[in-house]
Amino acid sequence: MKKKILIPTDFSKNAWNAITYASDLFKNKECSFFLLNAYNATMHSRGHLMKDKAEMLSFETEKISQLVV
């Protein structure tokens, strides 16, 4: 059975280390990784934060895709 692994992240350096560690730990297993990022935005700043988060998510997705073998 294929494992599904949820990795909570805040996209910090420590979180990146956790993603790398999980990738190495399960490199010989059939599994899927799912990243979870959650935050609470105030009503007046949601539009600005969403743009920043989208850019950061795009950047982090590119870094993570380099891990995929």
pLDDT tens track for 9-30: 988 999 999 999 999 999 999 9
SS3 for the chain, per residue? CCEEEEEECCCCHHHHHHHHHHHHHCCCCCEEEEEECCCCCCHHHHHHHHHHHHHHHHHHHHHHHCCCC
Q: Report the chain's C-alpha Rg in angstroms.
A: 14
Question: pTM score, two decimals?
Answer: 0.55
Q: Which domain holds residue 30?
A: 3-65
Number of domains composing the chain = 1
pLDDT over threshold 70, residue 50:
no
pLDDT over threshold 60, residue 62:
yes
Q: What is the C-alpha separation between 19 and 13, in angstroms, rounded?
A: 10
| Torsion sign over Cα 48, 49, 52, 53 | negative
